[in-house]
Amino acid sequence: MRLGWFTTLSSSVLSLILHLVVGVLLLFSFEFTPQPKTQIRQDVNVVQAVVIDKKQVDLELERIRKIEEEKHKKEKQRLEELEKKANNLEKKRKEEEKKLAEAKKKKEQEQKKLKEEQVRLKKLEKEKAELKKKRELEEKKIKEAEAKAEKLKAEDKARQQKIAEEKKVAENNRREKELADAMNAEETAKQASKDQELINRISNNIKRSIESKFNKVGLPDDLECELRVRLVPGGDVIDVTIAKSSGHDIFDRRAVNATQKASPLPVPDDVETFERLDLREIKLYFKPTN
């Protein structure tokens, strides 16, 4: 339940509240019984406020959605035509690829010839190998006799080792269990570290996709700026603001354009993760090195 309404609210303020609540719950539930009550009352207040808001929002959303849907239908056809145009541009590129494919075919034919030659060579090798096998068989017989003796020796050793290992495994299991128990207690912490990993990956992906659009041509060195970018689930950029200008209009504009052109940014599709990771607003520092 709690999670349900949490997800409908955004911004880091809420995340702060969440932390407070969870933290307080965790800590105080052991030591102070009266404290949580006041907390809960606060929560209830917030819930109510949200419910009222939500009704209005829902109505408004419904209205907007209807208008949007109508618009969308009309636009869709025209957009498709545009996409066709974009596809035509694509086509040109594809023709280039076709040429490349033909060159590839030629190469493949050459490789075929090469393969045939290789097959012939393989046959020769096979014959060689058979001879080798015969010799090896004889050697094997001798070796087997030797091996038997050693096997007996080894088996003895292995038995002892097995016992030792079993001991070790038992101990390991015990330790792991202890660890797992400890981890269980810190499930949330674990989730957090998992999220950190995910965030690193997302961060890298966004970085790469924007860098591939950031055009430095003709720009002077040693400039930097900071952008604030608002995203919606799915990664569409809905707003870019210049938080700190480089003092060079063109540099700033190229940074903004790169961000817009990279939209939608590569973020997780599912809303829950998006919200949990607080991806609605991100900061970008443009600090190109030469």
Q: How far is CA 284 from the centre of its chain?
A: 19
Which residues, other chains included, contact 73 with Cβ-Cβ below 8 Å and sequence gap of 6+?
none
Which residues, other chains included, contact 268 with Cβ-Cβ below 8 Å and sequence gap of 6+?
198, 202, 274, 277, 279
Q: Which residues sit at the interface with another protein, rule CB under 8 A?
A: 12, 15-16, 19-20, 23-24, 27-28, 31-32, 35, 79, 82-83, 85-86, 88-89, 192, 196, 199-200, 202-203, 206-207, 210-220, 248-250, 253, 255-258, 260-261, 277-279, 282-289
| Closest distance to another protein from the beta carbon of 5 (Å) | 19
| Closest distance to another protein from the beta carbon of 140 (Å) | 59
Tokens read off for 274: 């998006």
| Closest distance to another protein from the beta carbon of 104 (Å) | 27
Which residues, other chains included, contact 36 with Cβ-Cβ below 8 Å and sequence gap of 6+?
24, 25, 28, 29
Of 175 and 220, nearer to another protein (C-beta) is 220
Of 14 and 54, nearer to another protein (C-beta) is 14
| Closest distance to another protein from the beta carbon of 61 (Å) | 23
Phi, psi of 221 (to 5 degrees): -80, 170
Of 78 and 135, nearer to another protein (C-beta) is 78
Of 91 and 141, nearer to another protein (C-beta) is 91
Tokens read off for 249: 């209009």
| Closest distance to another protein from the beta carbon of 216 (Å) | 4
Which residues, other chains included, contact 28 with Cβ-Cβ below 8 Å and sequence gap of 6+?
35, 36
Of 180 and 199, nearer to another protein (C-beta) is 199
